[in-house]
Structure 1
Amino acid sequence: MIQAPQTTFNRRDIHQQVTDTIIQQLEKGVIPWQKPWNGAENRLMALPKNLTTGKKYRGVNILLLWTSAFNNEFLTDEWGSFLQWQDKKEAVRKGEKGTMIVYFDTLEKEEDGELKKIPFLKQSVVFNRCQLASYDSAAENPNLLNDTSLVERIEQVDKFVTNTSAVIENLGFGAFYDRDDDKITMPYKEAFNNTEHCTATEGYYSALLHELTHWTGNSKRIDRKFGDNVYATEELVAELGAAFMCAEFGINVAEKSNTAAYIDYWLNVLKDNKHCLLTAASEASKAVDFLQGLQPT
């Protein structure tokens, strides 16, 4: 019988483990939701998916798997547990380390004569296809990287946004969502310039998808509400929602004008609130699901 590779995680708070993983990336100057690529800087990784179900991972698991792919230079978006790969007659290479993902399970507990289901966070371990003994990077062509040159107008994204019926005005030089007026304001397209890391077109659309994520939180839609740290959590939801959609459309997320200050800000937020990241990532996936639900079948 083949034994699974040894993967050890200590028993400390899973929320803290997940948050620490992302904090380590930020402290290295890497923003996991801003640069989800591998290898050459203009090549994008797709959203990670499970090899057995074919479903794309959601919420904070996207960030955990993007981070692992970035650090280990994995070139595929396909992940599975040791047993899932074994079922496919594949073997994980000896010495390979798995990547932690998290999910919610329920615990049944009797209270006042009633059986109640209590949700709690669990962790699991997955491996990328690149970690298989059979994987040959020179022979395989994952076809996961996007080399398409972006033009002024990205018709696929325009249709996606139009189908939401969100009210969008191009006015001035600021991008924001007004919750009271339920309206998105975007800068004139002429205000966006090409940078070292993305084109003006990518900058425009990543900003638009950021504001569109904010738009989903209105009481007419998802009615997104938070307790403490409302502003920071909502901003992170918009950052992640834009990053998830940009990955789907093959768009680079525009780099912030002051990356060091930007990273420092998020480090302080995450260190102060270990729940912020998981909450924001989960809500970002819900926002993307909502927007996708507004598209024609």
Structure 2
Amino acid sequence: MSHASSSASRADVYSRVTAEIIAAIEQGTGEWRAPWFHNGASIARPTNIASGKRYRGINTLALWAAGYAVGYGDGLWGTYKQWQEAGAQVREGERSTTVVLWREVQASRSADNEDDTDDGHRRMFARAFSVFNVAQVDGYERPPIPVLPESERLAHAEAFISNLGIKTEFGGSEAYYRPSEDTVFMPAFTSFRDPASFYGVWLHEDGHASGAKHRLDRDLSSRFGSAAYAVEECCVEILSGLVLADLGIAHHPRPDHAAYIASWLKVLKDDPRAIFTAASKAQQAADWMHAQQGDAAHLYA
């Protein structure tokens, strides 16, 4: 296949994948969750025992402070009842930590105000909960975390990413690119739910690295200002979907791609063209990645 025809073929794939991502976003997406396993073991990641979700906002700070003050080494928290339901028992005399849950409720108009044309308005109510750390309970065994076997690594994807020349360090519980060190940090392969998730996240972070000044010098701040970070996140997540398709790892965008992009589009709601700018920059980054493949480039057409 000639270089021109392979580029045209890749452009067709990019157009299709981008269209599918946008269609998925328009249909509505669920909540995005990190595709590597989190069990709340880090004190820096306060997590609820019942829902498996991280605490947010002021609750994170409250649980950090409580955890560090007492010296807990674990970030798993729950109410007295939640620990009971998990088969554990809070020890007698243990002191709780307070967290606050905000709920939005519809306030209907009063019955004696029939002429009021307001259909009701939303109000926020805060409810306090007392929670206990896993170190304060007896009888809880953390369920085993599934392990993705190393044998499921994909050699062609490893080679493709290696050819990008971007330094990667593995370990820890977060995926991110640190510009000051020009290094990508990734959780271990074995902590992901499947190979496509691992390579998708790795490509996402390498996508951030592709925008560095000595590579593509991608600066979105001039047009998008404070929303530039959101456009960048959309860009590299679309990029991840494009290159996964190129590599034959996921022929269609995974639902978590659309959910992740949708979470950032909320920031960009006033600029309907932002998603198209992100897609354009994603294609540029994907082309850059292919250009790094040298003699192997034809394998990914």
TM-score normalised per structure 2: 0.47
- Name whichever structure is richer in helix by fraction: 2
